[in-house]
Amino acid sequence: MQARMTNPVMALPSAMTAIKHFHKAMAESGAPESLLELIALRASQINGCAACVYGHDHYLRTKHGETNERIAAVAVWREAPFFTDGERAVLALTEVVTRLADRSEESVSDELWAEVNKHYDEKQVAAIVLSVGMINFFNRVNTTVKEPAGQLW
């Protein structure tokens, strides 16, 4: 597959600057970076973004030392024994926020919100919410321009 165009965030340098600031803020939150990568992998799987699945799989392995078992099981996290209760809550949050169009009730239930907040403080939850939003943004941009898998940012 070949991209339709230069990725828009690369074509507009100010956009990349803004994204770098978002990532810096999320890193300063205290949320585990490996958790933010799990969010990115799961949302990218749902959205069919090959470029992001490739990249986040790579970063989970190389930067965060994640095991093949955990990475392979992200798509089936409910049935896999490899995730903590906090990670499960965040993966559930990632799925409902990523699938907003599929909902028939409120996007995030009070029960799910409480479960996430049981495991993470306010700054960490802020980073988690921003991370879900950012990866969905990237998935939409990348699938629109047909960004191919195989490159790292």
Tell me: the pLDDT tens digits for 44-57? 999 999 999 999 99
What is the pTM assigned to this prediction? 0.95
Q: Which of 4-13, 58-67, 77-86, 132-141 has the lowest mean pLDDT?
A: 4-13
Q: Quick check: 153 pLDDT over 90?
A: no
Measured in whole angstroms, the distance separating CA 71 from the mean position of its chain's CA atoms is 13
> What percent of the chain is helix, strand and coil (3-state, nearest 5)?
70, 0, 30
**What are the DSSP calls for 14-39, one per residue?**
HHHHHHHHHHHHHHTTT--HHHHHHH
Q: What is the pLDDT of residue 103?
A: 83
Q: Residue 32 above 80 pLDDT?
A: yes
Q: Which H or E element spans position 47?
A: helix 33-47
User: What is the token pair recorded at 138?
Assistant: 């990237």
Domains of the chain: 32-145 (1.20.1290.10)
Name residue, tokens 């921003």.
130
In the structure, what pLDDT confidence band is assigned to residue 113 with cuts at 50, 70 and 90? Answer: very high
Q: What is the pLDDT of residues 47-84, one digit of tens each?
A: 999 999 999 999 999 999 999 999 999 999 999 999 99
Q: Which of 39, 67, 69, 47 is nearest to 147 (CA)?
A: 47
